[in-house]
Every structure is written in structure tokens, then in C-alpha cells.
Amino acid sequence: MPLPRGLYLLPLALVGLGLAAEDAPEKAPKPRRCEAFGASIQANLPLRDLQDDLDHRTGLGLGLQWTHDHGDFHASRTRFEWNVFPESHPVGPLGTTTYAKNLVLSFDHLWRLSDGPTGVYLVGGLGGVRWTLDQKTPTASSDLQTTKLAVTAGVGLQVARHLSLEGRYVFSGIQKTFDANTVQMSLGWRF
């Protein structure tokens, strides 16, 4: 029985493909991307109007973080925080006491300034903050809840693979004429 036309070229084609595969340049390995979950605790120093109303009281907060390392000195992070400021002493002519808390959801970008698992990095972020502000005088009280834009800028130090220190300035407001900027000092752990 005769072979179908051109079938005798099949062994030659297979040998040619094998040789071409050996000569092909190797593909560069894809950069390793790393994802990490973490937690943080922070101290919050109120500034501007919030500082005056809280009588310079420092707040405390807890946070959760999800960091995605992109390689090439870049990483992105989603940060969710709950911050509480203790009730102030009576301030002003009416003796107003103020209690504040907030929830922050921020999408940050991290720029590492050195290679390796430790070193300094810069932080820039954009997100939202949900403020709750309770104010009381001897004769009246008011409760305010509002959601505002939060812009974050800061610097951090990756002390060890799982431990970081970070200082952030968070620009935010509660009303058009009420600034609620804060400075945050954060200690974070990556799992």
C-alpha cells in the first residue's frame, strides 16, 4: 500500500522542529509577585480643628492590610482601619466635650528606595474615611456622621521581613470648615 503523498516528509519536519526548539532563546522568568496579609496598630495625633475640639487627645487604632508586591521597587496595599479618639475634657466657653471615631479604607502605593526585604519606602494613598463625631454641652448634644475623601502621604521603614514602622499624614475633613487631618504612627506585622 503506498504512503499518502507528503507523509514521508513528516520525520524530517519533526527533526527540524526539535532542532528549532533547542535553538530558541529561553524565556525570561516572570518576576515573582508576592502577596501578604497583615495587621497594624497606630497612634493618631489630631491636627487643626479636630485637635482643638479633642483638647489634644491622642487616638488609637487597629488596622488590616493586604499588600501586593509588584517587583521593581513597587507595591500596592489596601488598608482598612478603625480609629478611636477618647472624649475630650470640656473646652470652649460652653464646656463642649467631643468624642470621635472613624473607619478608613485606603488604597496605597508603596515605592521602595532600596532592594531587599528591609529598607525605607514612601507611601501615597487615596481612599475614604467615615467619621462619627459626638459633641455635648451641659444643655445640648449633637451627633454627626459623614464620609469624606482621605489622602495619605508618608514614609515607612521595613525593619524586618514581617515588621514595619510607618509615619503617615492623612488629609481629611468632617465639614467644609472643619479640618480633621491626623498624623499616624503605625506598627505593622505581615503574616
pLDDT digits (tens, 9 = 90+) for 102-137: 999 999 999 999 888 899 999 999 999 999 999 999
Residue 102 covered by a domain: yes
**How many structural domains is the chain composed of?**
1
Residue 17 covered by a domain: no
| pLDDT score of 72 | 84
Residue 25 covered by a domain: no
Strands 119-136 and 97-112: antiparallel
CA distance 151 to 100: 19
Closest Cα partner for 165 from 154, 175, 176?
A: 154
Residue 7 covered by a domain: no
Residue 14 covered by a domain: no
- Per-residue pLDDT band for 155 (boundaries 50, 70, 90) equals very high
Residue 122 covered by a domain: yes
Contact partners, residue 12, CB within 8 Å, separation at least 6: none
Q: Which amino acid is at 36?
A: A
| pLDDT score of 116 | 81
Query: Quick one: CA dihedral 163, 120, 102, 61, positive or negative?
Result: positive
First to last CA, the chain: 69
| pLDDT score of 115 | 85
Residue 161 covered by a domain: yes
Residue-wise burial string across 42-61, b where 16 or more C-beta atoms lie within 10 A, e elsewhere: bebbbbebbbbbbbebebeb
- pLDDT one-digit tens code per residue, 15-73: 565 655 555 555 555 555 678 999 999 999 999 999 999 999 999 999 999 999 998 89
| pLDDT score of 32 | 56
- Per-residue pLDDT band for 81 (boundaries 50, 70, 90) equals very high
CATH code of the domain in which 43 resides: 2.40.160.20
Between residues 115 and 148, which one has the greater pLDDT? 148
Question: What does the pLDDT average to over 170-188?
Answer: 93
Between residues 178 and 2, which one has the greater pLDDT? 178
Residue 4 covered by a domain: no
Supply the mean pLDDT for the chain. 88
- pLDDT one-digit tens code per residue, 83-97: 999 999 999 888 999
